[in-house]
Amino acid sequence: MTKFLLGVDLTRVIRSILAESGSKSAVAFWGRGSEDWVTGPDSKVVANLGMGGTNPYALRKVRAEIKQCDTLHAKVYIGRKHAVVASANASINGLALEGSEQEGWIEAGVLIERTAEIRTWFDMLWDEHSKPITEPQWKEAERRWNLRVGSFKPSVTSFAEFDTEAPSLPIVTFIRGDEDWIVNERAVESATGAVGPVAHRRVEEGVWVLHKDDRPVLRNRWVLEWQMLASGRQASGAPGF
């Protein structure tokens, strides 16, 4: 039996496969978020590390035996009882659920229950077309990745242009002049690991720069703040240090 999946249904099935023991994934590109999804023991992953579309910092943290195949463009997730062939890469953008992750691409895929042929294909890919990743190759992938995320500079006014795979995204809050700003604790925890009062302090210290020595960019300590004018445009100008 096959079943067409899209959106949240597709994401949930894929994530359930990645959580199984012995899962096998031949997925070209791995990004932010994927390091938390492969939780079952004895899992195997084949990724494309050569094209520059895989975040090597995230892939390194994936709890699986990992090989690379630089010609891989497939996205195949294989579990014990079924497999999914889909458009979605293993990243926040590809496998969005809800909340802050809803900005992902529109993805679709097919759930397949008869997996014998797919397993045979994966084993051939693993044995004959994939290689372990050496430490120099990891370092080279990190170098290329840093060049990629560092070469693109979004405009000040367009959040749509932000690269969500960038290693140090700012924490963003959007307020109106007649409203108090609030702390999105979930977003701060996801970006920095800080929770509760510590998360609130991170935002407060980012909004209010208390001393001139605090101006150098410190990771996870800056907040971007925009105010809406009566005209509907964002206020612009120098930050209020």
Q: Give pLDDT, residue 98.
A: 38
- Treating both helix axes as pointing N-terminal to C-terminal, what angle do 196-207 and 185-192 enclose, rounded to 10 degrees? 90
Please choose, from the candidates 70, 71, 97, 79, the residue with its C-alpha nearest in 3D space to the C-alpha of residue 39.
79
pLDDT above 80 for 11? yes
pLDDT, residue 38, reads 92
Model confidence over 75-90: pLDDT tens digits? 999 999 999 999 988 8
**69-73, 98-102, 205-209: range with highest mean pLDDT:** 69-73
Residue 60 CB contacts under 8 Å (≥ 6 apart), including other chains: 35, 138
Share of the chain above pLDDT 70, in %: 63
Convert the pLDDT of each residue in 186-222 to its tens digit: 777 766 667 778 777 767 666 565 666 655 555 555 5
Residue 72 reports pLDDT greater than 60 = yes
CATH class in words for 2-149: alpha beta
Q: Quick one: average pLDDT of 222-241?
A: 58
Tokens of residue 103, six digits:
């900005």
* Amino acid 97: pLDDT: 41
Q: pLDDT band for position 9 (50/70/90)?
A: very high
pLDDT top residue among 198 and 57: 57
Give the length of the chain. 241
Identity of residue 107:
E
Pairing verdict, β 131-132 and 65-68: antiparallel
pLDDT (tens digit, 9 = 90+) per residue, 108-155?
Answer: 999 999 999 999 999 999 999 999 999 999 999 998 888 776 655 555
Q: Is 50's pLDDT higher than 90?
A: no
> Looking at the chain, which residues constitute the CATH 3.30.870.10 domain(s)?
2-149
**Contact yes or no for 67/22 (Cβ under 8 A):** no
Tokens of 183: 């702390």
